[in-house]
Amino acid sequence: MSATYRAVSWNPQKRRYDLAAAAMIVGFLGVAMAVQAVLRPELTIETILIRALGANPTPLSYGEIFSALQTKLIDGAENNWTTFQTSRHFEVARFWSQSEHSYSPEAVLMSQRRYDKLTKRQQELVRAAAAQSVPYMRTLWDSSEAEARAAVEKAGIRATPVNRAAFQKVAAPIVESYMKDPQLQRIYQEIRAVA
């Protein structure tokens, strides 16, 4: 049985952390990067992007990343400051590239079936409440990210800014290929409108 959900609001980004410093796209060339171990990892946008950047996507479950970094099965992974700190990946991956190569929007979801049973007024209230929750969630998220960044930098992690335009140039054809699907284009535009 499958469920259908409706996004009633969108809320943000991934950076890269490594065993070695990498400030440019050439830092991706030939490195093994962890990607989510899903049913068909070769088809995920993350895998396609990592490959386009010149790295070798390596499907792993989240729980395998620490030991994979530690044993050098992989050279790096991608995530946000909070996850980098709480997973303790910073203990083995000592470099952070502020690549912002991927944004993973967080959607406020509810059952489409339940949403359809609401009156128009109730639907409006749900959408308004979800939209009002976004600034609050972003405030909490920004605070969590700042605290995590401060903690890992205190532990000796060096954050390196990157040439974001170069990453966007590599990603542009991938984004364009996904925009051929009208449903994905609609979702993409909804996310960009509130980003």
Looking at residue 67, what is its pLDDT? 95
Q: Sorting pLDDT into bands at 50, 70 and 90, what band is 122? A: very high
pLDDT per position as a tens digit, 59-72: 888 899 999 999 99
Looking at residue 2, what is its pLDDT? 46
Q: What are phi and psi of 98, to 5 degrees?
A: -80, 60
State how far the alpha carbon of 16 is from the alpha carbons of 6, 94, 116, 139, 150, in Å.
30, 11, 40, 23, 17
Top-tier CATH class for 5-194: alpha beta
pLDDT per position as a tens digit, 68-115: 999 999 988 888 899 999 999 999 999 888 877 676 667 788 888 999
Identity (one letter) of the amino acid at 47? T
Q: How far apart are CA 101 and CA 142, in angstroms?
A: 18
For 190, the 3-state DSSP assignment is helix
Domain residue spans of the chain: 5-194
